Amino acid sequence: MAPPLSERNTGQLWSLREVHFSYGDTPVLRDIGLELRSGRCTGILGPNGSGKTTLLDLLAGLQAPQSGTIEFQGRPMAAWPKKHLARLLALVPQDFMVRFGFSVREVVEMGLHPHLHRFATPSEADRALIDQALAVTGIATLADRPVTRLSGGEKQRVAVARALAQRPTVLLLDEATSNLDIHHSLELLHLIRDRFERQDMQVVAVMHDLNLAAFFCDHLIFLKEGRVICQGPTDEVLTPATINAVYGVEAEVTANAFTQCRQVSFRLPASH
């Protein structure tokens, strides 16, 4: 993947200071200090249970820390009106659930709600935006099908289409490719990266696959046991030492001419 353009805006998105979060008596995030800036696709990585999804929920304003401060664009998260925040941030969850028989088009149309006045109906331009979101995510032929009758991968693409229809400033992805095969994973990441490059839509993505993260992200944040282990440009922090410290495996990281990005190979330690 090409690095961010040097002239791209690199202003502050989020600033987190001494953030702690627990579920009951179970600490999940501890003493988190981060600066997330625009102009780069940021990946959040780490083992299961390291706090990745919780961190994304805090960035989205779905949760609030027990202590510490979180600011978005220089303003405390709690000070943002919910509807205003919904116009700026769109979240694609890991498991997209719709329990009622809405059609695919109706679900994607829900992405427009933060921009519509109460009881207003979508305009012709809004409908064109929905059609575009359906087309670019490859689900236009499913537009009239109930979401409850889709496969997991198809539902995930509906979630992405709804988020794109929302026209966010920042797109938050929680393992958005987890239910997709490799073809649709690469297709989706190309689509989102293209929006980032051409329309200046910022992206923060929780990811599990190190090689997809190397392909997609300019900047990585590694978590372990609720703490930030390291962060920085992908080419600087995606190293055997980092991977060993975070995941406890031996790794080899090489430049791959075929993919034009770093490639990670790993194995259990010889002493295991």
Give me the DSSP letters along 185-212: HHHHHHHHHHHHHHH--EEEEE-S-HHH
6 confidence band (pLDDT: 50, 70, 90): very low
- The verdict on residue 272 lying in a domain is no
Measured CA to CA, the distance from residue 190 to residue 200 in angstroms comes to: 14
Q: Is the pLDDT of residue 119 over 60?
A: no
Strands 75-76 and 67-72: antiparallel
Q: Is the pLDDT of residue 162 over 60?
A: yes
| pLDDT (mean) for 246-256 | 96
Measured CA to CA, the distance from residue 70 to residue 14 in angstroms comes to: 7
Lowest mean per-residue pLDDT among 1-10, 61-70, 81-90: 1-10
Model confidence pLDDT, tens digit, residues 184-200: 899 999 999 998 988 77
| pLDDT (mean) for 35-53 | 95
CB 19 within 8 A of CB 70: yes
- The verdict on residue 4 lying in a domain is no
What's 109's domain CATH number?
Answer: 3.40.50.300
- The verdict on residue 178 lying in a domain is yes
- Which pLDDT score, from 0 to 100, does residue 97 have? 75
- The verdict on residue 70 lying in a domain is yes
CB 16 within 8 A of CB 44: no
Which token pair is 148? 């409850």
- The verdict on residue 42 lying in a domain is yes
- Between the alpha carbon of residue 82 and those of residues 119, 124, 241, 260, the distances in Å are 18, 26, 41, 41
- Which pLDDT score, from 0 to 100, does residue 243 have? 97
Which token pair is 46? 């780490």
Model confidence pLDDT, tens digit, residues 218-228: 999 999 999 99
Domain extent, residue 79, equals 12-267
| pLDDT (mean) for 44-56 | 97
- The verdict on residue 93 lying in a domain is yes
- The verdict on residue 6 lying in a domain is no
The total of structural domains in the chain comes to 1
| pLDDT (mean) for 35-51 | 95
- Which pLDDT score, from 0 to 100, does residue 240 have? 97
CB 200 within 8 A of CB 8: yes
- The verdict on residue 5 lying in a domain is no
Task: Say whether pTM exceeds 0.75.
Answer: yes
- Which pLDDT score, from 0 to 100, does residue 141 have? 96
Strands 219-224 and 41-45: parallel
Q: What is the phi/psi pair of residue 185, to 5°?
A: -60, -50
- Which pLDDT score, from 0 to 100, does residue 272 have? 65
Neighbours of 97 (CB within 10 A): 9
Average pLDDT, the chain: 89
Q: Is the pLDDT of residue 156 over 60?
A: yes
7 DSSP 8-state letter? T
